[in-house]
């Protein structure tokens, strides 16, 4: 049973436009969410995170929005650049009650930003 789902395997956008990557989760105990970016032949790298007590977190061109009632989060990249082309993984964890460091990942979305 996939607790974290990224239903769009791929996304293609034009350089300079907004990229929106979506993620849904089913476990209401998740209280911390992260996005990782992965280039080919490299390991994932941490991008941005958000605690469940917030509904938005911004870091430069990257903004993560959390809608707890809908159990949905999204990553916005504005403006998109060709170097943003990568696989993006959404991840969730129950940080508050038992911080075992366990991350539950989504399947990933491949973003292609066209020049």
- Residue identified by tokens 């929005």 is 65
* Contact range with other proteins by CB under 8 A, out of 12-20, 60-68, 74-82, 97-105: 97-105
Nearest-approach distance from CB 14 to other proteins, in angstroms:
27
110 belongs to the binding site for other proteins (CB under 8 A): no
* Sites for other proteins among residues 31-70 (CB under 8 A): 32, 34, 36, 41-46, 49
Q: CB of 7 within 8 A of CB of 25?
A: no
Q: What is the DSSP string of 69-106?
A: TTTEEEEEESS--GGG-EEEEEEEE-TTT------EE-
Q: CB of 24 within 8 A of CB of 67?
A: no
11 belongs to the binding site for other proteins (CB under 8 A): no
Nearest-approach distance from CB 82 to other proteins, in angstroms:
22
- Residue 94 corresponds to which tokens in the numbers above? 């129950």
Binding site for other proteins (CB under 8 A): 4, 6, 32, 34, 36, 41-46, 49, 89, 91, 93, 95, 99-103, 105-108
């Amino acid at each position: 049973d996939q607790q974290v789902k990224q239903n769009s395997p791929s996304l293609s956008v034009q350089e300079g436009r907004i990229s929106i990557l979506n993620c849904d989760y089913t476990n209401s105990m998740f209280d911390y969410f992260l996005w990782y970016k992965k280039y080919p032949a490299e390991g994932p790298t941490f991008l941005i995170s958000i605690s469940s007590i917030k509904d938005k977190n911004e870091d430069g061109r990257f903004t993560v929005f959390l809608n707890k009632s809908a159990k949905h989060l999204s990553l916005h990249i504005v403006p998109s650049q060709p170097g943003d082309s990568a696989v993006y993984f959404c991840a969730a964890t129950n940080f508050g009650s038992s911080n075992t460091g366990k991350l539950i990942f989504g399947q990933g979305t491949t973003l292609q930003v066209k020049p």
